[in-house]
């Protein structure tokens, strides 16, 4: 019986150009292989996307243009992170009868507050199990985007045929059904503890770009949305260095 696995990765570099994968540790598998499961990503500084803004994308009269936008991650809601199978952080706070925060639970604690948060902004599903067929033999795994939540680090400036430029905060989120991409796992050691390299071959993403007033927060969507570019396309590919994996077999 296979068990879905959960992992937190870090998303680096240009979305339209490269993806660097750090080390990851997978859940137990039957024999040597990689189980289906969820990969949870946290976007880091340096992530960019090159977008095409068609005529009127920023409102009536805006000019068509290509723009490169620096992006940062906007954490998913705790409910969405859990639905993806991603780990959430739990903090327990204890209060005394006067409402003061206690450093730890004591006899004076009369109230306990549990807070859940997450740093995950993107999750990807490995849709099939893959079995290793030998040391150094690459095995491909199908993957599919589940959730995406990014925001421009700085306001985007749009120009118009008439009138002054305007600035907007833009939000990038997943859009509808997603195409299937692939990852490649190449074991360098086999046995109870399999280790090796993990490389993102390609991840096809269909996404929406939502415009908000400059200074807005994408965490508040759909509140504050002005207009949206639907069903945009890009493909993620691995950076120059592959990531690594460890797979424990019972």
User: pLDDT per residue over 130-170, tens digit each?
Assistant: 788 888 999 888 989 999 999 999 999 999 999 999 999 99
Residue 99 pLDDT: 82
Q: What angle do CA 199, 209, 65 make, to 5 degrees?
A: 95
Please give the Cα distance from 147 to 47 (Å, whole number): 17
Encode 9-38: b = buried (16+ Cβ within 10 Å), e = exposed: bbbbbbbeeebbbeebebeebeebbbbbbb
Rounded Cα gap, residues 95 and 112, in angstroms: 6
Pairwise pLDDT comparison (28 vs 82), residue with the higher score: 82
Task: State the pairing for strand pair 111-117/37-43.
Answer: unpaired
Distance CA 25, CA 201 (A): 19
Instruction: Give me the mean pLDDT over the 201-211 stretch.
Output: 88
- Planar angle of CA 40, 91, 100, nearest 5 degrees: 155
More confident residue, 161 or 46: 161
Whole-number average pLDDT of the chain: 80
Residue 160 and residue 81 in contact, taking contact as beta carbons nearer than 8 Å: no
Cβ contacts of 99 within 8 Å, gap of 6 or more: none
pLDDT digits (tens, 9 = 90+) for 97-110: 878 888 777 767 77
pLDDT of residue 131: 84
What are the structural domain ranges in the chain? 5-75+119-248
6: which 2 tokens? 């959960």
What would the mean pLDDT of 119-137 be, rounded to a whole number?
87
Model confidence, pTM: 0.75
Tell me the H-state helices in the chain.
Answer: 78-84
pLDDT value of position 100 = 83
């Amino acid at each position: 019986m296979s068990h879905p696995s959960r992992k937190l990765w870090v998303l680096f570099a240009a979305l339209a150009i490269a993806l660097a994968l750090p080390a990851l540790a997978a859940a137990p598998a039957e024999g040597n292989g990689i189980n289906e499961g969820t990969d949870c990503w946290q976007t880091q500084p340096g992530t960019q996307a090159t977008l095409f803004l068609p005529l009127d994308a920023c409102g009536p009269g805006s000019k068509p243009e290509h723009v490169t936008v620096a992006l940062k991650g906007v954490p998913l809601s705790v409910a969405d992170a859990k639905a993806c199978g991603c780990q959430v952080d739990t903090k327990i706070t204890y209060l005394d009868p006067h409402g003061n925060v206690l450093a730890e639970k004591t006899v004076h604690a009369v109230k306990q507050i549990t807070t859940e948060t997450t740093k995950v902004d993107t999750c990807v599903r490995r849709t099939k199990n893959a079995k290793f067929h030998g040391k150094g033999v690459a095995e491909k795994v199908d993957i599919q985007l589940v959730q995406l939540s990014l925001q421009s680090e700085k306001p985007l400036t749009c120009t118009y045929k008439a009138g002054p430029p305007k600035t907007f905060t833009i939000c990038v989120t997943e859009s509808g059904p997603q195409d299937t991409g692939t990852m490649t796992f190449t074991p360098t050691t086999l046995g109870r503890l399999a280790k090796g390299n993990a490389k993102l071959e390609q991840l096809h993403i269909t996404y929406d770009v939502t415009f908000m007033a400059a200074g807005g927060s994408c965490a508040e969507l759909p509140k504050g949305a002005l207009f949206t570019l639907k069903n945009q396309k890009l493909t993620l590919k691995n950076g120059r260095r592959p990531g690594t994996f460890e797979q424990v077999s019972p």
